[in-house]
Chain A
Amino acid sequence: MNGTALIHSIIDGILTGSVYALMATGLTLIFGVMNIINVAQGIFVILGAYLSYALSVHFGIDLFVGLAITIPTLFLVGIVVERVFLSRIKGPEKVVMSILVTYAISLVIEGILNMVFSVNYVELQAWYVDRSVRVFGYWLPYIYLLGFALAVVLLGALYFMLYRTRFGASVRASLADQTSAALVGINVKNVSTICFGIGIAVTAAGGMIYGATNAFNASSSYDLISRLLVIIVLGGMGSIGGALAAGVFMITVEDMVSVIWGPVWSSLTFFLILVIILSVRPQGIFGKLEARLA
């Protein structure tokens, strides 16, 4: 192990971590607004990756151009799933029920993906996937840089939407307190539906980058969702800034551990960090105390 490799791992971690941060932001937004833990987020990422795969293999559409199709598609899928299934969940056990319903949805999608695409691992291909560029003496794959840029652009758009538009104000009001938001005339139901759509739409972008940097099949979703859940818990559930910071932090740490002790230990450390931090700070690093979650 040497210093250069360590710095390299930090750069890689920040670049790939930003993509995880994007996917985790969708998840935490859904939880914050709707009180739904969407464990189907992992399979939606894979669905996004497979859509990009189908477009590039069968129609020869570039991965980034294909996003113009996959992002709206997944947005619509999200809207339909919310309206048909999630809006029916009510009552005191809503969070628990939401986990089970989204898990069942995820099983159905996993089965369909297995049937359509088989269980063989695939990887997205494009000229920028296998090539690297030298930046300040470090070789960085183009796809990491492009993924980072994409994540920054989309997170910027999300920030603009949340903090600079009227709709964003409604979302933030719903995040803070649903009852009060409804009392001042916000249609919380519609806000929830659209938020779920947005939360799922970001997985199209995340899935494309994930598919270009990893070989995947439908069961890769388990690995993904466990990481995403760890990230949003660590960031404090419902906290968007927390999800961003925790996403970049965790993936960077994982990459560093992989360089220092070897890749087999990196995922283990990932989960151990969560366990240790939550033992000290049960509300996560950026979370508020669980008054309203109790």
Chain B
Amino acid sequence: MSRFKHGWWLLALAIFIAYPLVETNPAYTTIGIFTLIFMACATSWNMFSGYSGYVNLGSAVFYGSGAYTMALFANHLHMAGNGDLFWLVPLGGVVASIIAIPVGLVALRVRRHTFVVITIAIFFVFQLSAINFSFTGGTSGMQLPFIPWFITNYNVPFYYVALGIVVFAALLSAVVRRSRFGLQLLAIRDDEDRAAGLGVRVFAVKLTGFALSAFAVGMGGALYAMFIGQIYPQFVFDPIFDISIALMAIFGGLGTFIGPLLGALVLESTQQLLTLKYSNGSLYLIIFGGVFLIVILFMPQGVVVAIRDAWARRAARRDGRVTVGATVNPGATS
């Protein structure tokens, strides 16, 4: 069973690897890159917020930090516009994780509801700082070294690096989920006081999870900066990014492993396609908001769990047993 399951993952990976070889139109490989970046970020976000229940609506802090790390280092080290810039991508992750520590020291002192609000406030501190300080280039943003690759192949290296970040984020999320540390995060979600009473060092666990989850988001931001070639504070520190990541994870299934991957894959590629075809942002807002309302009100545990429950009910009916109802998977944690 387990080997069979891994087979499906390898198949999915093979499809993702084959995509830019089959689809060579740069407009569509660009969609692929953005989708992969969001898959990595949503998975990483879920690794902290989904497992611990502390919903972070300021993850753009990490994304923007990664993007500015890329821009600042590339400019100050006078790097040339070539593949060497990819070495700054993991550095973006490291910087984001380091920034997550003081942010977490402040934000994680409070309980969940206030945490949500304080992450929004910290997000604005970062966005406004990026706008106001001079070393970030202010509102005019920062330019990155021009990469003189040929247009038809420009996207391909970015795509595979983005895929690498997704694999990294997914593996990290899976490892954390199966570890003692992951169980401690889940215990905090279920009952923080009891977890503390049972000897979980809740603050240290939360802070570690928070910093770990910043890493892939920072890498995503760095790759985004390099790919776009020009960053502005309001686009890398974007409140829509904060909420999109959360929506994607919850759309797929909060706290599940596959949910955020699937949620980001579906929502981000749809958004990009709609923008490409209709370029009507307002219509997208209405559709996105409407779909999300329907999902959250009728499938509050996310699409993945809803499908799995429906599947289990069907299987049960076929076996001639009594319908097991919607409680097949009460915790939505696998």
Interface residue from B121, B290, B292 paired with A226 (Cβ < 8 Å): B121
Max chain A C-beta neighbours (<10 A), residue from B124, B250, B286:
B124
A108–B289 CB distance below 8 A: yes
Q: How far is the CB of B240 from chain A (nearest CB, A)?
A: 9
A25 to B331, CA, bound (A): 36
Which one of A9-17, A90-98, A126-134 is at the B interface? A90-98
> With a CB–CB cut-off of 8 A, which chain A residues contact B114?
233, 237, 278, 282, 284, 290, 293
A282–B293 CB distance below 8 A: no
Q: Does B219 contact A (CB under 8 A)?
A: no
> With a CB–CB cut-off of 8 A, which chain B residues contact A284?
114
> With a CB–CB cut-off of 8 A, which chain B residues contact A229?
117, 120-121
Q: Does B246 contact A (CB under 8 A)?
A: yes
> With a CB–CB cut-off of 8 A, which chain A residues contact B284?
111
Q: Does A267 contact B (CB under 8 A)?
A: yes
B55–A104 CB distance below 8 A: no
A192 to B110, CA, bound (A): 26
Q: Does B13 contact A (CB under 8 A)?
A: no
B290–A96 CB distance below 8 A: no
Which one of B38-46, B125-133, B318-326 is at the A interface? B125-133
User: Which chain A residue has the least Cβ–Cβ distance from B122?
Assistant: A275
Q: Mask for A175-195, Cβ within 8 A of B = 1, else 0? A: 000000000000000000000
B113–A274 CB distance below 8 A: no
In the complex with contacts A104-B289, A104-B296, A282-B109 CB distance below 8 A? yes
> With a CB–CB cut-off of 8 A, which chain B residues contact A165?
none
Q: Mask for A103-121, Cβ within 8 A of B = 1, else 0? A: 1111110111011000000
Q: Mask for B248-289, Cβ within 8 A of A = 1, else 0? A: 001000100000000000000000000000000111111011
B120–A96 CB distance below 8 A: no
**By the criterion of a CB under 8 Å from any partner CB, how many residues of chain A are at the interface?**
44
In the complex with contacts A108-B285, A230-B121, A290-B111, A268-B297 CB distance below 8 A? no
B111–A107 CB distance below 8 A: no
> With a CB–CB cut-off of 8 A, which chain A residues contact B285?
107-108, 110-111, 114
Interface residue from A37, A97, A100, A278 paired with B106 (Cβ < 8 Å): A278
In the complex with contacts A88-B297, A282-B109, A111-B128 CB distance below 8 A? no
Max chain A C-beta neighbours (<10 A), residue from B286, B289, B300:
B289
Q: How far is the CB of A262 from chain B (nearest CB, A)?
A: 9
A230 to B121, CA, bound (A): 7
A106 to B288, CA, bound (A): 11
> With a CB–CB cut-off of 8 A, which chain A residues contact B36?
none
Q: How far is the CB of A223 from chain B (nearest CB, A)?
A: 9
Q: Does B118 contact A (CB under 8 A)?
A: yes
> With a CB–CB cut-off of 8 A, which chain B residues contact A37?
113, 116-117
A104 to B250, CA, bound (A): 12
> With a CB–CB cut-off of 8 A, which chain B residues contact A104?
247, 288-290, 292-293, 296
B125–A272 CB distance below 8 A: yes
A114–B281 CB distance below 8 A: yes
**By the criterion of a CB under 8 Å from any partner CB, how many residues of chain B are at the interface?**
44
A101–B286 CB distance below 8 A: no
In the complex with contacts A88-B297, A229-B117, A271-B192 CB distance below 8 A? no
A278 to B109, CA, bound (A): 8
A51 to B310, CA, bound (A): 44
Q: How far is the CB of B226 from chain A (nearest CB, A)?
A: 27
Interface residue from B122, B192, B281, B300 paired with A294 (Cβ < 8 Å): B192
A39 to B135, CA, bound (A): 33
> With a CB–CB cut-off of 8 A, which chain A residues contact B218?
none
Q: Does A99 contact B (CB under 8 A)?
A: yes
Interface residue from B113, B125, B282, B296 paired with A95 (Cβ < 8 Å): B113
Q: Mask for B237-251, Cβ within 8 A of A = 1, else 0? A: 001000100110010
Q: Does A249 contact B (CB under 8 A)?
A: no
Q: How far is the CB of B14 from chain A (nearest CB, A)?
A: 34
B193–A294 CB distance below 8 A: yes
In the complex with contacts A108-B289, A230-B117, A103-B243 CB distance below 8 A? yes
B296–A100 CB distance below 8 A: yes
Q: Does B53 contact A (CB under 8 A)?
A: yes
B128–A271 CB distance below 8 A: yes
A264 to B288, CA, bound (A): 33
B289–A100 CB distance below 8 A: no
Q: Mask for B93-112, Cβ within 8 A of A = 1, else 0? A: 00000000000001001111
> With a CB–CB cut-off of 8 A, which chain B residues contact A167?
none
Q: Give 9 A-B pairs besides A37-B116, A104-B293 with Cβ atoms closer than 8 angstroms.
A: A105-B289, A105-B293, A107-B285, A112-B286, A229-B121, A233-B114, A278-B110, A282-B114, A290-B113
A–B Cβ pairs within 8 angstroms, 13 of them: A93-B254, A95-B112, A100-B247, A105-B293, A107-B286, A115-B283, A233-B118, A233-B121, A271-B122, A272-B125, A275-B106, A282-B111, A293-B114
Q: B: which residues have CB within 8 A of A?
A: 53, 55, 57, 106, 109-114, 116-118, 120-122, 124-125, 128-129, 131-132, 192-193, 239, 243, 246-247, 250, 254, 281-286, 288-290, 292-293, 296-297, 300
